[in-house]
Structure 1
Amino acid sequence: MRQIWKSFRALYFASLMMLIGSGLLSTYLALRLAADQVDGLWVGALMAANYFGLVLGGKIGHRLIARVGHIRAYSACAGIVGAAVLGHGLVDWLPAWLILRMVVGLGMMCQYMVIESWLNEQADAKQRGLVFSGYMIASYLGLVLGQLILVMHPSLGPELLMLVALCFALCLVPVTLTRRIHPAPLHPAPMEPRFFMKRVPQSLSTVLGAGLIVGSFYGLAPLYASQQGLSTEQVGLFMGSCIFAGLVVQWPLGWLSDRYDRAVLIRSFAICLALAALPLAIMPKVPLEVLFIAGFACSLVQFCLYPLAVAFSNDHVESDRRVSLTAMLLVTYGVGASIGPLVAGVLMKFFGSQMLYAFFSFFALVLVWRIRPKAVTNLHQVDDAPLHHVAMPDSMSSSPLVAALDPRVDEQVVQDQMQNGASPEPEPEETAADTEAEQTPTDPPPDDEHPHTFTGARP
C-alpha cells in the first residue's frame, strides 16, 4: 500500500484538495444562509444545483477533454470553479448563487474525470483495488477536513471562500506539473437506461433513495444543526463526525457484503436507518449528546446504501456492461440528490428542522417496501457472484470513469469502451421473468429457472 501512495500521491493530493474545498463550501453556504435567516428551501436548492451540475458535467466533460486534452481541461475547470467560488462573495443575489453552484458542480465533475482516467491509465491491473481504495480514502478525508476547518475558523466571513478558492488553486499544481504519460482520449460510455431498469430495478431504486437521503444530508444537515442551536464550531464537528462515519463503516460493510445476501442487507440497513433517524425526527429540540450519537448512527447506515446497491447490481450485470452501469448509477444518484434537498428544504421550512430526519426515515421505509429479497430471480447473476465488495465514495465525488478502477470490471473491456466508445452487443428483449425483481414473493419461479439463487448466508 505504501508503494501505491507513493506512486499516486500527486493525484491523491489533487483529489484531497478538491474535496476539502467542496466540503467546506457546502457547509459554509448552508450556515451563511442560516445566519441571514434565509429559508431552508434556498439551501436545498443550492445543493440541488450543485448535483445537477455534477450530472451535467458527466456529459460535457468527455467533449471538453477530447477537444483540448486532459491537463488543459483540468486547469480550465479548476480556474472556473475557483472563480465561481469567489463569485459567492461578490454577489448576494440568491438566483446567481444557484448558477454559481451549478458551475462548481459541472467543473468538479470534469476534474474528477481527468483524475480518474489518469489513475486508470497508470494503475496496474492487479493494483486497481488498492488504487481505488486510496482514492476513496482521499475523497472522504477531504470532506472531513473541510468540516474541521470550521472548527478552527468559525467566522463566516469571506475568508472561508478564499480558503475554498485556495484549495482549488492548489489542486492544479500536481496535475499541471506531472511528467506522466498523457491518458488516452475518452468517449462517453453508453447509458442503456431501459436495459438497466429491467435488469436491476431494485439496485436503481436503492441508488435513487441513497441520492435523496445523502444529497439532503450534505445540503441541509448544517442548517439542521444550526437550528438546533449549535455554534459554527459544533456544526463543523457534527458534520465531520457524520462524514467520518461514512469512511469507517466501509470496511466492516465489505465483510458483511461478501458473506450475506446483499438484498437482505440493503433492506436491513434501511430498517436501521428508519429507526436511527426516528429520535431526531420526533424531537424538535435534541440534547447535544443525543444529536451527535444519533447523527453518527444515521450516517453509519445511510452511507452503506450506495455501495451495497453498486455491489448488488454488479452481481447481475456482465463485465462488458459495467462501465455503462456505473454511468447509469451515478445519473440515478444525481437525480435523487437533486430532488432530495428541494423536497426536504420545503418540509423544513413549513414543519420545522426535525423534518430533515423525518424525510430520511420516510424514504428508508420506502426502500424497506421496495426491496424484496425473495423476488430476486438471479436469472442473470454472473457466474462468480457474489463479486468482491469494493468500498465506493457515494457523494458524487466520482465520475462514470471510476468504474475503470473497480477490480470487478475487466480491464480490456474498460479500455475498449473508454477509447473506442463501443457499446456492447444488444441482447434479446427480456421478459418480465428475466428481470431482477419482477417475481413476487408469493409466486417464486421454478428452481430450474434460477440456479444461482442464494437464500441466507453466502459461502
Structure 2
Amino acid sequence: MFKSVASFFSLFIATLLLQSGAGLFNTYVGLRFTATSVSELWVGAVIAAYYLGLVFGARIGHQLIIRVGHIRAFVASAAIVTITVLVQSLVDNLWVWLACRFVAGIGMVTQFMVIESWLNEQTENHLRGRVFAFYMVFSGLGTVAGQLSITLFPFLNYEPLVFVAMSTALCLVPVALTGRTHPAVQLPAPIMIKYYLARVPMSLLAFFITGNINGAFYALAAVYAVKAGLSSNQAAVYLAAAVAAGLLAQWPMGWLADRLNRASLIRANAFLLLLVTIPLWGWWQFPYWALLSFSAAYGILQFTMYPLGAAFANDNIEPERRVGLSAVLLMVYGVGACIGPMLVGALMRGISSGMFYVFVSACAVVMIVFIHPRKVTGKNRSGDAPTSFVPMPGSMQGSPAAVVLDPRIDVSRDVSRDPPPETGS
C-alpha cells in the first residue's frame, strides 16, 4: 500500500504547492486591503471572482485537456495563473484584480482536474480511499502552510505575491517531470439539477450554505481578525488554526457520522456553530488565546459540514448516479462560495466587522430550521446506505474530477448521463 501511495508523491507535492499559493494569496488579500482601507466589499468580490472562475472553469478546463492532453493543459494553466499573480503585483487596480482572479480560478481548476484525474485513473479500487485521504491531507497542509507563510513578510507589499507566483510556477516541476502515463480523459457528468433537487433537497441546501460560509471565511476572516485587534501575523495564525483544526477533525467526525443519524448530526453541528459564533458578534473583546480557541472550534464545525453533507446525499442516491450527484453538489457549493463573500463584504462594510460571524450564525439557523431528521422519509434511501464517511474538507478548489476519487463511487457502473427516472415533488 505504501509503495502505491508513494508513487503519487509528485502529484501530492504539486497539490501542496498549489494550495500553499492559494492559502497565502487569500490571507494576503484580506490583510493588505484592510491595511490600505479598501472596502470589505472589494475583498469579498476578489474571492468571489475566483470561485466564479472555478465554476465556469470546470467545463473550459475539460475541453482544454481533451484538445492538448493533461501535461500541456497543466503547464499552460500554471503559466496563466502565475502571470495573473505577477500582474497583480505590478498593477494596483481593483478591476484588474477581479479579472485576474477570475482567470486564475479557471486556470487552477484545470490544474486540479489534471492532478485528480491522474490519481483516479491510476489508483486501484481497494486503495482509492487511502489515496483520497493522502490527497486531502496534502491539500489541507498546503492551505495551512500558505496562511502561515504570511508571517515571513514584514511588509504587505508586492513580495507575498512574488512568493505566490513562485509556488504556482514551482508546481510545474513535479508534474512536468513525472514518469507516470497520461490518464484517460473522462466525460463530464451532466448537471441534472431538477432531478437531484427532488431527491436530496436538504443535502443541496447544506452544500449551498456551506459554500457561503467557506467562501466568506477565505475572503473575510482575516479582515475580521485584524479589526478585532490582531496583528497580521496573529491573523494568519488565527486562520490557520481553523483550517488545521478542521483537517484534524475529519476522522473523529467520520467515526460519529458512521454511527449516528446524519441529518441529526448536521443539525447538531449547525447548532454548535451557532453557539460558537454568537460570542464573536462584536459584543465582547477577547484575548488572543481565546480567539484562537474560538477559531479552532469554528474550524472543526465549519470544515466537517462539507463531508457530512456529501455522506448524507450519497445515502439517498443510487450508486450508479453518484458522479452526477457530485457534479451538482460542487456546482451548488461553488455558487454559494460566490455569493457568500459578496454578501458578507457588504454587511461588514455597512455595519461592522462582527457581521462576519452574524452571517455564519444566520446560516446555521437556516440549517437548523430546514434540515431535520423528521423530514427524511427514507423513500429514496440507497441500498448501500449508510455510505462511508469520506474526509473531504471544502477547500479553495472545486474540481469535478475529484468526485471519482471518492471510494463511494464506482465509475464503471455510472449512468449519470442517462435520462433520470421520473421523480415526484
Shorter-normalised TM range: over 0.9
Q: Does 1:64 align with 2:58?
A: no
CA distance in 2, matches of 1:61, 1:149: 29
Q: Secondary structure at the match of 2:316?
A: coil
Partner of 1:46: 46
Partner of 2:418: 424
CA distance in 1, matches of 2:4, 2:281: 43
Kindly provide the amino acid, as one letter, of the partner of residue 81 in structure 2: V
1:33-432 to 2 correspondences below 5 Å: 33-283=33-283, 285-413=285-413, 423-427=417-421, 429-432=422-425
Question: Normalising to structure 1: TM-score of the pair?
Answer: 0.90
Q: Which has the larger radius of gyration?
A: 1
How far did residue 321 of structure 1 move?
Answer: 1.1
Assess if the C-alpha contact under 8 Å between 2:30 and 2:220 holds in 1: yes
How far did residue 245 of structure 1 move?
Answer: 1.0
CA RMSD, 1 decimal: 1.3
Q: Deviations over 1:408-440 (max 9, x none)?
A: 1114136xx7xxxx713431x2223xxxxxxxx
CA distance in 1, matches of 2:393, 2:173: 24
Q: Percent identity?
A: 47
CA distance in 2, matches of 1:359, 1:408: 33
How far did residue 284 of structure 1 move?
Answer: 5.8
Assess if the C-alpha contact under 8 Å between 2:334 and 2:398 holds in 1: no
How far did residue 287 of structure 1 move?
Answer: 2.5
**Equivalences, count:** 425
Higher mean C-alpha displacement, 1-10 vs 133-142: 1-10
Kindly provide the amino acid, as one letter, of the partner of residue 107 in structure 1: G
Assess if the C-alpha contact under 8 Å between 1:284 and 1:353 holds in 2: no
Partner of 1:449: none
Q: Deviations over 1:124-177 (max 9, x none)?
A: 111000000011001100000001111232321211111111111111111111
Assess if the C-alpha contact under 8 Å between 1:191 and 1:327 holds in 2: yes
Question: Normalising to structure 2: TM-score of the pair?
Answer: 0.97
CA distance in 2, matches of 1:282, 1:84: 36
Point out where structure 2 has 5 or more consecutive residues left out of the alignment. none
Assess if the C-alpha contact under 8 Å between 1:14 and 1:172 holds in 2: yes
Q: Deviations over 1:176-200 (max 9, x none)?
A: 1122111112321111100000000
Assess if the C-alpha contact under 8 Å between 2:318 and 2:383 holds in 1: no
How far did residue 249 of structure 1 move?
Answer: 0.7
CA distance in 2, matches of 1:196, 1:255: 27
Assess if the C-alpha contact under 8 Å between 2:19 and 2:396 holds in 1: no
Assess if the C-alpha contact under 8 Å between 2:54 and 2:398 holds in 1: no
Partner of 1:435: none
Kindly provide the amino acid, as one letter, of the partner of residue 388 in structure 2: H
Q: Secondary structure at the match of 2:188?
A: coil
Assess if the C-alpha contact under 8 Å between 1:303 and 1:394 holds in 2: yes
Higher mean C-alpha displacement, 26-35 vs 285-294: 285-294
Q: Deviations over 1:291-324 (max 9, x none)?
A: 1111211111011111100000001111121111
Q: Secondary structure at the match of 1:75?
A: helix
Q: Secondary structure at the match of 1:349?
A: helix
